[in-house]
Structures are given as C-alpha cells and as structure tokens.
C-alpha cells in the first residue's frame, strides 16, 4: 500500500527542517559548501526528495534569509507594542535588535555579515521573484527603525531621519560584529557594559531632538 500523501503541516515541518539543516551547513562551510547531497545527509532525506520542496540551493538560501528577517521584524514589533513613549519604543527596539543578534547568531551573521549573494545578484534567474520578496522582508526592520526615529525627531527632514536610522543600525551591527568575532573577549572588554552604554547613548541623542 503506497504511503499517504503528506499534509500541509507535515510539508511545512519538512521545509523548516531543511532550512535549519542548510543554515547549519552554511555557517560551517559557507554557501559554496552547501549541496543537496550534503543537505540530504544532514536532514536524513534523499537529495532527490529535497527537490520536491525547493527548486535549488539558491531558493533554500533565500528562504533562510526570509525566515531570519521575518523573525527579526516580529521580535522588534512585539518589543515595542506595549509602549507609547517614543524614546521607550526606540530603547526597546534597540535592545531587541541586539538580543536577536546574540540569540539567533547564525541567522544574524548570514543576514548581515557575509558576502553571499544579494537580491540584485538574482536578476534574470529562476529565483528572481523570491529574491525580491527577500529584499522587501529585509527592509521592513529598517522602515520600522526609520518610523521610530521619526517619532523622536518629528521636525527633521526625511533624509535626516533616514540617516539617523541607518546610523543606529550601523552602530548596533558594529557592536554585534565585534561580539561574534570574539573581539570583546580578546581585549577584555565587558560586552554588557558596552551594550548598555550604546543603548543609553542612542536614546540620549534622540532625547535632545524631542
């Protein structure tokens, strides 16, 4: 008797397992080290069966990024939902961004710290539309930061607001990049103290603008 077709829930679970396995391989061997054969071994599935879920490894890679950026945006949105004060909302958003970068280090590094392909690299490819969706997802967190800066700096121009939002993200990324590269440990610096100093500095800079 042939096996019953998998339900949508079961297929979604398989996809999540494939994405998780692919992320582990990429973090250890780089995107170039990801192959369907290696992935099949990782998730106990034939490489031919993986093609029933994903067109190729580029599609898997883009789904990893989408998963990460969706998770980041959801965490940021949830963190500020219960606050109305603009400065408190920004503080919670900053703290949550840092926490995400630590708790989901593998996702974070792939999202922000590698030279792997970006959406423009997939123009005229079979996954071009998916790459566009990934880019849209990735920009949602920047748009959120931009809106929070606007709440704190209502009299500034759109260009000034965007520059400030981008600067904040760059500052947080620098902090997390040093954390993941073990520089803080190497120089004997206290990461928690540095984090608190940066958070308070960001909020203080915005408070002046209110």
Residues 44 and 75 in one domain: no
Residues 203 and 123 in one domain: yes
Say if CB 38 and CB 103 are below 8 A apart.
no
Q: Is residue 93 part of a domain?
A: yes
Domain CATH for 38:
1.10.10.60
Q: Is 56 helix (H, G, I), strand (E, B) or coil?
A: coil
Give the whole-angstrom CA distance, residue 65 versus residue 104: 12
* pLDDT digits 0-9 by tens, 141-170: 999 999 999 999 999 999 999 999 999 999
Residues 111 and 201 in one domain: yes
Residues 43 and 70 in one domain: no
Q: What's residue 9's pLDDT?
A: 81
User: Into how many domains does the chain fold?
Assistant: 2
Please name which of 209, 14, 174 lies closest in space to residue 97, comparing C-alpha atoms: 174
The residue range of the domain holding 157 is 65-207
CA dihedral 115, 116, 121, 126 (to 10 degrees): 180
Q: What's residue 50's pLDDT?
A: 94
Q: Is 61 helix (H, G, I), strand (E, B) or coil?
A: helix
- Backbone φ, ψ for residue 207 (5° rounding): -60, -35
For residue 130, pLDDT over 70 is answered with: yes
pLDDT band at 1 (very low <50, low <70, confident <90, very high): low
For 46-61, what is the mean pLDDT? 92
Q: What's residue 210's pLDDT?
A: 67
Residues 99 and 181 in one domain: yes
Query: Who contacts 104 (Cβ-Cβ below 8 Å, separation ≥6)?
Result: 68, 71, 72
Q: Is 15 helix (H, G, I), strand (E, B) or coil?
A: helix
Residues 48 and 71 in one domain: no
Chain mean pLDDT for the chain:
93
* pLDDT digits 0-9 by tens, 11-48: 889 999 999 999 999 999 998 999 999 999 999 999 89
Q: Is residue 60 part of a domain?
A: no
Residues 18 and 91 in one domain: no
Domain CATH for 148:
1.10.357.10
For residue 129, pLDDT over 60 is answered with: yes
Tokens 């490819």 -> residue: 125
- Torsion sign (Cα): 179, 185, 187, 191: positive
- Torsion sign (Cα): 147, 148, 150, 151: positive
Q: Is residue 116 part of a domain?
A: yes
Residue 78 Cα distances to 65, 92, 112, 133, 177, angstroms: 20, 10, 21, 22, 24
Give the whole-angstrom CA distance, residue 95 versus residue 41: 38
Residues 37 and 89 in one domain: no
For 123-134, what is the mean pLDDT? 94
């Amino acid at each position: 008797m042939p096996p019953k077709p998998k339900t949508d829930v079961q297929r979604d679970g398989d996809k999540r397992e494939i994405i998780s396995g692919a992320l582990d391989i990429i973090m250890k061997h780089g995107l170039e080290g990801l192959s369907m054969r290696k992935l099949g071994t990782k998730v106990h599935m034939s490489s031919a069966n993986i093609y029933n879920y994903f067109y190729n490894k580029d599609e898997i890679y883009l789904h990893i990024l989408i998963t990460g950026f969706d998770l980041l945006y959801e965490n940021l949105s949830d963190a500020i939902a219960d606050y109305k004060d603009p400065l408190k909302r920004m503080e919670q958003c900053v703290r949550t961004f840092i926490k995400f970068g630590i708790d989901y280090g593998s996702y974070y590094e792939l999202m922000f710290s590698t030279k792997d392909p970006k959406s423009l690299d997939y123009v005229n490819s079979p996954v071009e539309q998916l790459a566009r969706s990934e880019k849209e997802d990735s920009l949602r967190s920047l748009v959120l930061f931009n809106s929070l800066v606007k709440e704190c700096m209502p009299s500034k121009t759109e260009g000034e607001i965007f520059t400030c939002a981008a600067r904040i993200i760059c500052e947080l990324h620098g902090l997390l990049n040093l954390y993941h590269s073990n520089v803080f440990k190497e120089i004997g610096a206290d990461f928690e103290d540095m984090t608190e100093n940066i958070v308070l500095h960001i909020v203080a800079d915005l408070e002046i603008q209110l």
